[in-house]
């Protein structure tokens, strides 16, 4: 399908980010619809999808693409995997973008952490320490250094727990511990349903410079039985719309950075960014018109740093 004339052109990095954003929100995309929206040919969208598929982000299907979730969802299939799926995808996407420059990560067990791993940009210099077999399997098939902790395996989460897993965590220093939670409240902090999972997370937090908690809106203000960390230990809380605003205000008041993953606002920011790019192309000389926009990129593999590709 031919691109529409006169519409704003979108750089390749932004196109691929938009593709992942759409998959995160709707789980599938249609090539024809996306080509019209981004003012490019269907062949260009197919090339973008192939690039993302090669990097492990998507799985190409007839007429479109779906998130490459076979390993994470089939390996860790439990009731929680079907709850708040869209919110968890958006949380995972936003968190992956926030932590794109981190070098050593601890990634905990759970379905939201799996979504984070799904969108994490693969790099040979990235090391991930994890008790989660789904996360280890997903990232182990990409150019990422992965350390699975070992130990007894819990059936429901397919997560390594117990003294072996806890002791293994102590062998590593990580830049950020990224964990999910059964509940997060300003009063009791991060809590879990099971103390085995909580104990591994506690050890990881002790050896990490920062703590990033991923919890959809239904978990905010909720307290489970096993305390993982107090609220003051949280550096960043990434949640979804629908979270209790009074509780989020309490976190902010205590110094916690609160990020609300809102897909509609993300699309609006992307559209405004494309419009500003179009204006710059009209005002600037050609040599500057192809310069890359400020790089907060979701997909590192989409282009090397600073490089852009105009739509075909």
Q: Tell me the CATH number at 270.
A: 1.10.10.10
CATH code assigned at 158: 3.40.50.1360
Q: How confident is the model at residue 132 (pLDDT cuts 50, 70, 90)?
A: very high
Residue 194 has pLDDT above 50, yes or no: yes
Q: Does a structural domain hold residue 276?
A: yes
Q: How many domains does the chain have?
A: 2
Residues 227 and 279 in one domain: no
What residues contact 269, with CB distance under 8 A and at least 6 apart?
A: none
The residue written with tokens 């293994």 in the block is 168
The more confident residue out of 74 and 67 is 67
Q: For residue 91, which of 119, 110, 50, 63 has the smallest C-alpha distance?
A: 119
Q: How confident is the model at residue 56 (pLDDT cuts 50, 70, 90)?
A: low
Q: What six digits make up the tokens of 211?
A: 């703590």
Residues 288 and 149 in one domain: no
pTM of this prediction? 0.64
Q: Does a structural domain hold residue 120?
A: yes
The answer to which of 16-20, 103-107, 192-196 has the lowest mean pLDDT is 16-20
Q: How confident is the model at residue 10 (pLDDT cuts 50, 70, 90)?
A: low
Q: Domain range for residue 26?
A: 12-68+265-302
Residues 158 and 37 in one domain: no
**How are beta strands 226-229 and 189-192 bridged, if at all?**
antiparallel
Provide, rounded to the nearest whole percent, the portion of the chain with pLDDT above 70: 70
Average pLDDT of every residue of the chain: 77
Q: Which of 4-13, 219-228, 290-299 has the highest mean pLDDT?
A: 219-228
Mean pLDDT along residues 283-298: 36
- pLDDT for the residue numbered 55: 64
Q: How confident is the model at residue 70 (pLDDT cuts 50, 70, 90)?
A: very low
- pLDDT for the residue numbered 267: 42
Residues 279 and 249 in one domain: no
């Amino acid at each position: 399908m031919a691109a529409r004339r006169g519409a704003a052109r979108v750089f390749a990095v932004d196109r691929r980010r938009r593709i992942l954003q759409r998959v995160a929100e709707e789980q599938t995309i249609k090539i024809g619809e996306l080509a019209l929206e981004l003012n490019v040919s269907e062949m260009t969208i197919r090339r973008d999808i192939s690039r993302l598929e090669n990097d492990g982000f998507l799985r190409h299907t007839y007429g479109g693409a779906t998130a490459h979730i076979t390993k994470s969802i089939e390996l860790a299939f439990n009731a929680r995997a079907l709850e708040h799926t869209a919110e968890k995808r958006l949380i995972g996407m936003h968190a992956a973008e926030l932590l794109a420059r981190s070098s050593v990560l601890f990634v905990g067990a759970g379905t939201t952490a799996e979504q984070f791993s799904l969108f994490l940009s693969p790099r040979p210099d990235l090391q991930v320490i994890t008790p989660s077999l789904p996360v280890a399997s997903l990232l182990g098939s990409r150019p990422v250094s992965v350390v699975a902790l070992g130990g007894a395996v819990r059936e429901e989460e397919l997560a390594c727990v117990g003294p072996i897993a806890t002791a293994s965590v102590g062998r590593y220093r990580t830049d950020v511990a990224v964990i999910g939670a059964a509940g997060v409240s300003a009063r009791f902090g991060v809590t879990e349903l099971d103390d085995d999972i909580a104990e591994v997370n506690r050890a990881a937090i002790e050896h990490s410079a920062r703590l990033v908690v991923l919890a959809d809106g239904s978990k905010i203000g909720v307290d489970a039985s096993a305390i993982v960390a107090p609220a003051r230990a949280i550096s960043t809380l990434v949640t979804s719309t629908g979270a209790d605003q009074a509780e989020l205000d309490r976190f902010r008041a205590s110094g916690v950075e609160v990020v609300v993953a809102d897909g509609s606002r993300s699309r609006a920011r992307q559209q405004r960014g494309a419009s500003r790019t179009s204006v710059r192309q009209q005002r600037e000389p050609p040599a500057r018109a192809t310069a890359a926009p400020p790089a907060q990129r979701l997909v590192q593999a989409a282009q090397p740093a600073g490089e852009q590709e105009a739509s075909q």
